[in-house]
């Protein structure tokens, strides 16, 4: 498992931008619900996947996992 701080700076910047987007709108066009779940979603960020949970009232987005495709 790799820590975010160990990722290339470009990947860190793209990750930070995508997390900000998710905080504002967790149901982005490129977000897909995980099968057999009600509130878990995945979004692709290059070679990485972000798995997160959405709570609507109040709106809360919890990142469960950020993983490289080979570890996903």
For the stretch 30-65, pLDDT in tens is: 999 999 888 899 999 999 999 999 998 899 999 999
> Is the distance from CB of 23 to CB of 31 less than 8 angstroms?
no
For the chain, helix (H) and strand (E) counts, in that order, are 1, 4
Six token digits for residue 12: 């860190």
The pTM of this model reads: 0.86
């Amino acid at each position: 498992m790799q820590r975010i701080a160990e990722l290339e700076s470009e990947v860190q910047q793209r990750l930070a931008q995508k997390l900000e987007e998710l905080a504002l709108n967790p149901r982005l066009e490129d977000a897909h619900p995980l099968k057999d779940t009600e509130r878990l979603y995945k979004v692709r960020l290059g070679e990485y996947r972000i798995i997160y949970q959405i709570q609507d009232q109040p709106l809360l987005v919890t990142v469960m996992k950020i993983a490289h495709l080979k570890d996903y």
